[in-house]
Amino acid sequence: QVQLVESGGGVVQPGRSLRLSCAASGFTFSSYGMQWVRQAPGKGLEWVAVISYHGSNTYYEDSVKGRFTISRDNSKNTLYLQMNSLRVEDTAVYYCAKRPSGKSWYGDYWGQGTLVSVPS
Amino acid sequence: TVMTQSPATLSVSPGERATLSCRASQSVGSNLAWYQQKSGQAPRLLIYDVSSRATGIPARFSGSGSGTEFTLTISSLQSEDFAIYYCQQYYNWPTSGQGTRLENK
């Protein structure tokens, strides 16, 4: 069965960096696009970054462009999100989500999330 | 694309039908998904491409609509269906609504 396990969250001061990881299993990781989606407390879902199955194509939400980098290591079945220059408004639970086959950008399987807190 | 869900909270009794609405600020074609989220859990995909049920989703969940107006219907509510529901468009950069909380009346 598909399993996605995020790690790396925590409390970090504004302006500092953090790297999230997502370990994937139960499917052929190298065949599927992946994405990071965050959810601030009591809010909806916000797509942050998307990556193609091979890692050559990456896409970002405007507020994180230039600060966040999505990447993947298909040999380790792991997805990453490098977050630099963190801001108070980046506080959220960060989920990794698998994309389905094809070009659609929704998540058919989700991890349990990791909490990132940037206190003011 | 701004997604607006209504109502914010819906109170329904078990066994009754629930109808949740989602409106897009511009046409998203058929690029619309619905998720269920229970407290402290990750979202679970229910519906994609407006009306296709995801793997393992019961037939009591159905989706309809096109363009800018969409509906999620739960035909006969079960106790495990009380949760928050989000719609999401993927016609362009993905965006979701703020959710509809479905509560036990």
At residue A98, the pLDDT reads: 98
Put simply, the answer to whether A105 touches B99 (Cβ < 8 Å) is no
Q: Tell me: the pLDDT tens digits for B58-75? A: 999 999 999 999 999 999
Contact B48 A100 (CB under 8 A): yes
Of A47, A108, A110, the CB nearest to B94: A47
Chain B residues whose CB is inside 8 A of the A106 CB are 33, 45, 48, 88, 90, 94
The mean pLDDT value of chain A amounts to 97
Q: The tokens of A76 are what?
A: 């380790």
Query: Which are the contacts of B101, defined by CB distance < 8 A and separation ≥ 6?
Result: B8, B9, B10, B83, B84
Is B48 within 8 Å of chain A by CB?
A: yes
Contact B49 A112 (CB under 8 A): no
Contact A110 B42 (CB under 8 A): yes
- Residues A56, A80, B28: CA angle, nearest 5 degrees: 65
Residues B66-104: tens digit of each pLDDT: 999 999 999 999 999 999 999 999 999 999 999 999 999
The whole-number average pLDDT for the span A53-65 is 96
pLDDT more than 90, % of chain B: 100
Residue pLDDT, tens place only, B7-54: 999 999 999 999 999 999 999 999 999 999 999 999 999 999 999 999
For A79-119, how does the pLDDT look when each residue is reduced to its tens digit (9 = 90+)? 999 999 999 999 999 999 999 988 899 999 999 999 999 99
Calpha distance B70→B64 (Å, rounded): 6
